[in-house]
Amino acid sequence: MSHYKIKNEISRRQFGKVTLAASAGAYAIGTGLFSGVANADTPKKGGLVRIAMESSSPNDTLDPIAVTSNIDATRCFQLYNNLVRMGNGLRPEPSLAESWESNSKATKWTFNIRKGVEFHNGKPLTATDVVYSIKRHLGENTESRIKSYMAQIAEVKADGKYTVRIEISNPNAEFPILFSSARAGIIPEGHSDFENPVGTGPFKVKEFRPGIRSLFERNPNYWRSAMPYVDAVDTSSIPDPVARLNVLLAGEIEVANSLDAKSVPLIKLSPNVELIVAKGGQMVVNAMMLDRGPTDNKNFRLAMKYLQDRKRVVQGVYKGYAQIGNDHPIAPSDPMYCADIPVRAYDPDKAKFHLKQAGMEGAGIDIYTSTTAGPGNVEQSLTFQQSAAAAGVTVQVHQTPPEGYWSHTWQKYPIFGTHWNARPTADLMYSTTLLSTASSNETKYSNEKLDQLVTQARATLDEAKRKAIWCDLQLIVNEDGGYLTSCFVDYLHGRSSKLKGIEPHPMGGLSDQFSAETVWLES
């Protein structure tokens, strides 16, 4: 192993929620093997890659089912592999499952497990490890953050040493995508000590101090030939986006994720740093909670929606690096996006009408946010403060500390800033944030009709008919939900020009969610 040195230990910090792979259809069969990022040069071995993310917390974890942040997800992708991985084309690719297939109703699935894979402790991977890992997500008492959509699994069992059979309660043509989530990492049967995590991933833990820093070393027995190329990866956080950019410009890190649009001119001026732009469904929004006042009032929520100047946010806050949103979590780039629903215009008069209906004319409201609540959320909130004044609404923007934001601010106030990474399917976005049973239903939205329609959409194999159902689902949230979705923000990251083998991913990460598996350093 080459020698590496960490020059500066910097307190850094979070990256949001899970990425999953889109199935090619009810009869999808994985065939190929991910070959890494194409590059004209020959990858070189050795060195340390330092990745700075936007936040972390003393509650950081290496237990995949408990992932709640981007930095947790990144570390899990470094330590663990999944049954499937999501390619840049938003289709599932083989990983620990060499292939998979379903019956004609997409209710029974078979996953064929790769042979010759070892865990970090030398234990060979078998079907029983996969079954154990999946069962951790099941049952009422599970702590899994994706239990709401893992709940469709009725039975999972090993059939021999390298075959896993899964039966689900209702048809789901896109079922394999569940297993590409950072929360679906595969661990050895019976393992429960996540201070000493064991996976099959490209790196093994060397040092992990929650909320401070982490260091992972190359797995010398990794099953993907030649990978990873670097000796080690340091994944930590720098909460302030300006400080994160400055450290990158100074050459003290190789990757700075989740940068602000106002950073773009500085990046373009630097000969040593390059900008990476990925369009997707990144949702940086303010959320209104429906279990408390004043945001439990539908007329109040509608008033807030009419006070969003969406075009001003896209151009003023994000300098055009965003897509217009329409108060639901499905982006225009999503195949299920419903263009038939008119985008709600900025209209202070209609906002006044709904405020009067709510008995809240001349209201004063508070928004709690932070730099870690997604790139530009603070600026979005300040823009809303200005646009709301036209309706006689006084908005106070409270900027809370980025450290531990998801513990001390998220879901603690009626209106707060939040950040969701893209999902490859509309189903997964709703299943994570809007189903009444979803553990991450941050707005506390509960609608029996919505729950039923999501189940109906999963079972609809005809894509045109499925999209019609998704139009109904988007309209429900557009009119009644708690999201103030002005836009979907492009992912903006910075990288050192010396870092090779890296490319954008539409779900926001770079080359398999910042795992550093494919990257290498130019001398």
User: What tens digit of pLDDT does each residue of 107-163 get?
Assistant: 999 999 999 999 999 999 999 999 999 999 999 899 998 887 799 999 999 999 999
Average pLDDT of span 398-418: 95
Whether residue 456 contacts residue 316, with contact meaning beta carbons closer than 8 Å, is answered with no
For residue 208, what is the enclosing H or E element? strand 203-209
| Structure confidence at residue 56 (pLDDT) | 84
Count of C-beta atoms within a 10 Å radius of residue 448: 8
133, 182, 339, 341, 452 from 475: Cα distances, Å:
36, 30, 11, 7, 15
| Architecture of the domain whose range is 283-489 | Roll (3.10)
Which of 36-50, 60-74, 86-100, 379-393 has the weakest average pLDDT?
36-50
Which of 373-382, 389-398, 420-429 has the weakest average pLDDT?
420-429
Quick one: how many helices (H) and strands (E) in the chain? 14, 22
Angstrom distance (rounded) from CA 466 to CA 386:
39
Placement of tokens 């993907």 in the chain: 224
Chain centroid to CA 405: 17
| Structure confidence at residue 37 (pLDDT) | 43
* Mean pLDDT value across the chain: 89
Whether residue 472 contacts residue 314, with contact meaning beta carbons closer than 8 Å, is answered with no
Instruction: Express each pLDDT in 292-320 by its tens digit.
Output: 999 999 999 999 999 999 999 999 999 99
Nearest CA among 79, 80, 57, 81 for reference residue 70: 57
If DSSP codes are grouped into helix, strand and coil, which group holds residue 214? strand
| Structure confidence at residue 437 (pLDDT) | 87
pLDDT > 90? residue 369: yes
Handedness of CA 287, 290, 293, 299 (dihedral sign): positive
Band of pLDDT at residue 36, cut at 50, 70 and 90: very low
Instruction: Express each pLDDT in 165-204 by its tens digit.
Output: 999 998 998 899 889 889 999 999 999 999 999 999 999 9
Band of pLDDT at residue 474, cut at 50, 70 and 90: very high
Q: Helix, strand, coil shares of the chain as percentages rounded to 5? A: 25, 20, 50
Band of pLDDT at residue 460, cut at 50, 70 and 90: confident
Band of pLDDT at residue 10, cut at 50, 70 and 90: very low
pLDDT > 50? residue 216: yes
Nearest CA among 345, 360, 378 for reference residue 295: 360
| Structure confidence at residue 11 (pLDDT) | 31
Angstrom distance (rounded) from CA 486 to CA 479:
14
pTM of the model as a whole: 0.76
pLDDT > 50? residue 503: yes
